[in-house]
Amino acid sequence: MLTLKKTASEYHHGDLQSALITAGLRQVEKNGLNSLGLRQLAVETGVSPAAVYKHFQDLDHLKACIAKASREILGSMMLKSLKQLPDEPKTKLDALKRLRATGSAYIDFGVQKKNLFEIAFISFDSPDLGPDSPNSYQIFLDCLIDLNKLGALSDSNLLIAPAMAWSAVHGFASLATHGIYGNKAEIEVFKDSVLSGVPRLIQIEL
Amino acid sequence: MLTLKKTASEYHHGDLQSALITAGLRQVEKNGLNSLGLRQLAVETGVSPAAVYKHFQDLDHLKACIAKASREILGSMMLKSLKQLPDEPKTKLDALKRLRATGSAYIDFGVQKKNLFEIAFISFDSPDLGPDSPNSYQIFLDCLIDLNKLGALSDSNLLIAPAMAWSAVHGFASLATHGIYGNKAEIEVFKDSVLSGVPRLIQIEL
DNA sequence: CTTTAATGTGAACAATGTTAACATTAAAGA
DNA sequence: TCTTTAATGTTAACATTGTTCACATTAAAG
């Protein structure tokens, strides 16, 4: 339709649903998950508190949508990290570099946007909201499929390997956001170690 | 002092501070972090809402104390898992079994007490509350020191190795609590894989 | 035994999530 | 096009929450 919103009757918002999610993302990123409030978001988007309930069942549902949006930002950062590398990896080493890049992006997201990372996995269980796109697990898996095609991974590991890689990377990101590894310079050292360890963890053979 | 609380004047509670933490732990474990409320805890411990503020600065502070208590339960479960093994490991393999036992206990805690695991790392940064005892990181470290003494680990890794092991185990526990690996039977398979992968990750040489 | 500090109560406050009844607009069907 | 209907918004109210203040009660210290 695309009706160049001249209809500024100011009564209907136009796209409140995504406006609330966007405002929520900004609020969480700036002041943390605890600072997220329904009324405050309503004010921020210039709407009454009750209007929110036309688009979300309750605050938890809205939070879940903001969480999903966070995960999708994470996923897009992972994809972005891949765009600076050769598309179709021809060698095992190239394929491995791609896996490492996605892992690095995952950790960077956690460290740089720790408040978004904090909310990202809220209500991750309930699949009411449909799959993430992009989906970070799928991105890991694609990298491992490439490695498998090139013979760097045993087939039996295509189920286990992504789980293990994800665990290591996610765990490091999570612990890093909790300030366990000190300042960002120190984090970088540990991060490299973890990323270098992943191929051993999932038994890559070059 | 130990004054066998005959002084049941019913006005002063006796040990409200820890009673609130205990009640908080039970509430979180049963109904999740979101269900935790100050007034409700006050009712549960038979005390007025304002009384809580004689022992905690605010709800966040109380939450942080409950979180610390959760981590200490985790730590004690790790220690418990060690008590069924030979005290002083004489062989590399024995030492490795101890490391694996602690990792297994860590993951079990996450899966079996997912609500406690959820709160456990809240306010982990702020060291106002003093160190955990027992401290799960220290337990990992002790296992690795044993391995190092037996020559299974390069010295340079005594800083990095615990961080990596912790990351893998913590990440898996975290993702498992989010229901990513399906039911508990499936989780067990993945868990064994991760635990078997840790020695490769941290470059144990047997 | 008196004073003081620790620990409790009760009433009030502002702010929050939520709901219900109603208003306005956009979309659909005659 | 006109009418109806569904979608989307508003306002007012409610119960509940975290928090504070003035005050009461008890335990500990001098």
Same domain, A137 and A162: yes
B54 touches strand C (CB under 7 A): yes
Query: Protein A57 CA to nucleic acid C25 C1', in Å?
Result: 22
Same domain, B88 and B29: no
Whether A39 has a pLDDT exceeding 90, the answer reads yes
Q: Tell me whether residue A62 is in a domain.
A: no
Among B121, B168, B190, select the one facing A168 at the smallest CB separation. Answer: B168
Q: CATH number, domain at A35?
A: 1.10.10
Calculate what percentage of chain A has a pLDDT beyond 70: 95
Same domain, B99 and B191: yes
Q: In the predicted model, what is the mean pLDDT of chain A? A: 93
Q: Tell me whether residue A131 is in a domain.
A: yes
Same domain, A80 and A46: no
Q: Tell me whether residue B177 is in a domain.
A: yes
Contacts of A199 (CB under 8 A, 6+ apart): A96, A99, A206
DSSP result, A97-157: HHHHHHHHHHHHHHHHTHHHHHHHTTT-S-GGG---SS-HHHHHHHHHHHHHHTT-S-TTH
Q: CATH number, domain at B40?
A: 1.10.10.60
Same domain, B147 and B85: yes
Name the nucleotide with the smallest C1'–CA separation from A46: D9
Name the nucleotide with the smallest C1'–CA separation from B5: D27
pLDDT band for A154, please (50, 70, 90 cuts): confident
Q: Do B190 and A163 touch (CB under 8 A)?
A: yes
Whether B1 has a pLDDT exceeding 50, the answer reads no
Q: Tell me whether residue A193 is in a domain.
A: yes
Distance CA(B95)–CA(B145), nearest Å, equals: 9
Q: Tell me whether residue B62 is in a domain.
A: no
C-beta of residue A118 within 8 angstroms of C-beta of residue B124: no
C-alpha dihedral (B189, B192, B194, B196), degrees to nearest 10: -140
Same domain, A150 and A197: yes
| Per-residue model confidence as pLDDT tens digits over B27-84 | 999 999 999 999 999 999 999 999 999 999 999 999 999 999 999 999 999 999 999 9
Question: Is omega for the bond preceding B134 within 30 degrees of 0, making it cis?
Answer: yes
Same domain, A48 and A97: no
- Closest protein residue to C9 (Cα–C1'): B48
Same domain, A119 and A42: no
Residue B2 confidence (pLDDT): 34
Name the nucleotide with the smallest C1'–CA separation from A14: D8
Shortest CA gap A130–chain B (Å): 15
pLDDT band for B126, please (50, 70, 90 cuts): confident
pLDDT band for A6, please (50, 70, 90 cuts): very low
Q: In the predicted model, what is the mean pLDDT of chain B? A: 94
Same domain, A171 and A85: yes
| Per-residue model confidence as pLDDT tens digits over A159-184 | 999 999 999 999 999 999 999 998 99
Domain end residue (candidates: A30, A56, A82): A56
Q: Tell me whether residue A172 is in a domain.
A: yes
Q: Do B174 and A174 touch (CB under 8 A)?
A: yes
Same domain, A190 and A106: yes
Q: CATH number, domain at A89?
A: 1.10.357.10
A40 touches strand C (CB under 7 A): yes
Protein CB footprint (7 Å) on chain C nucleotides: 6-12, 15-21, 24-27
Residues of A within an 8 Å Cβ radius of B: 34, 60, 121, 124-125, 137, 160, 163-164, 166-175, 178-181, 190, 193-194, 197-198, 200-203
Same domain, B20 and B45: yes
Q: Tell me whether residue A153 is in a domain.
A: yes
Q: Domain range holding A140?
A: 69-201
Same domain, A104 and A171: yes
Q: Tell me whether residue A116 is in a domain.
A: yes
Whether B192 has a pLDDT exceeding 70, the answer reads yes
Residue B8 confidence (pLDDT): 43
Domain count, chain B: 2
